[in-house]
């Protein structure tokens, strides 16, 4: 399984990165996990504009799904002809959220471009990927996920505060892609995001093989985030970089 980070900035785009978006590839199947604002640009640096097979949206905050709004035009009006409907899996209301951003009725347009599927906790098979979905600790319905393909396993935290469910999803995975939006010591509101230390603690509790920190807020300090996580987790660890590829 190959992971390419298309965007890893938390909450809003940074000068060097779009918001959250991760491309997973296995056996020629291309699954996009989240479509944060700006990520369609990076998608075109990695694969063709239309070369996606399915999309999973972890939750309906703008920095995780908004590029699906404008990507509608890319698929519908591509000069070479419109590709088939793209399966999109997301929380309850995913279609209505995307439609609402157009400011006019677009159900016919969206039906030509996307096939929407609302998710619930449990197993979901998409192409060669087996997903285990679980609700994590965030103010809107948010799915963390454990993704297995080709004998390798990745866990993705989505956005979450401290979460036992996330530890369960990440148990013993090869790569743990975990958000670390906050720094310790700030006045962090509870039940929204993790600090670098908390991400490290989740990795340690889940006994993951590698921790990749993501969703750092652009005004933060990646060195401090990494130091916080390293202080509590002594395994392989790095901060995600946009356009970097990782063999899971």
Question: Residues in the site for Zn ion, rule: CB under 5 A?
Answer: 61, 159
DSSP string, 72-88: HHHHHS-TT---PPEEE
Question: How far apart are the C-alpha atoms of 49 and 43, rounded to whole Å?
Answer: 7
Residue nearer to Zn ion on the CB measure, 19 or 124: 19
Residue nearer to Zn ion on the CB measure, 61 or 197: 61
Question: How far apart are the C-alpha atoms of 191 and 186, rounded to whole Å?
Answer: 14
Return the beta strands (E) in the chain as ranges. 2-7, 21-26, 29-33, 54-56, 86-90, 114-118, 122-126, 129-135, 143-149, 152-156, 175-179, 210-214, 236-239, 245-247
Least distance from Zn ion to the Cβ atom of residue 91, Å: 11
Contact of 169 with 132, CB cutoff 8 Å: yes
Residue nearer to Zn ion on the CB measure, 61 or 97: 61
Least distance from Zn ion to the Cβ atom of residue 213, Å: 16
Least distance from Zn ion to the Cβ atom of residue 159, Å: 4
Residue nearer to Zn ion on the CB measure, 30 or 215: 215
Residue nearer to Zn ion on the CB measure, 67 or 159: 159
Least distance from Zn ion to the Cβ atom of residue 163, Å: 13
Least distance from Zn ion to the Cβ atom of residue 244, Å: 22
Contact of 58 with 145, CB cutoff 8 Å: yes
């Amino acid at each position: 399984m190959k992971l390419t980070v298309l965007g890893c900035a938390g909450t809003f785009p940074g000068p060097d990165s779009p918001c959250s978006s991760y491309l997973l590839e296995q056996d020629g199947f291309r699954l996009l996990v989240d479509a944060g604002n700006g990520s369609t640009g990076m998608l075109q640096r990695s694969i063709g504009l239309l070369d996606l097979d399915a999309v999973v949206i972890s939750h309906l905050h703008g920095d995780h799904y908004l590029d699906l709004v404008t990507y509608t035009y890319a698929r519908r009006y591509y000069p070479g002809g419109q590709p088939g409907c793209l399966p999109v899996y997301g929380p309850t209301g995913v279609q209505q959220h995307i439609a609402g951003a157009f400011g006019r009725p677009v159900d016919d347009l969206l039906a030509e471009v996307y096939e929407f599927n609302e998710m619930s906790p449990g197993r979901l098979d998409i192409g060669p990927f087996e997903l285990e979905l679980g609700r994590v600790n965030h103010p809107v319905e948010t799915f963390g996920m454990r993704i297995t393909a080709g004998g390798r396993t990745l866990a993705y935290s989505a956005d979450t505060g401290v979460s036992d469910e996330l530890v369960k999803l990440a148990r013993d995975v090869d790569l743990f892609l975990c958000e670390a939006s906050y720094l310790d010591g700030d006045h962090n509101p509870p039940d929204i995001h993790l600090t670098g230390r908390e991400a490290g603690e989740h990795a340690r509790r889940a006994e993951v093989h590698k921790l990749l920190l993501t969703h750092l807020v652009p005004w933060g300090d990646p060195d401090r985030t990494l130091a916080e996580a390293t202080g509590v987790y002594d395994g392989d660890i790095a901060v995600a970089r946009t356009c970097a590829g990782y063999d899971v």
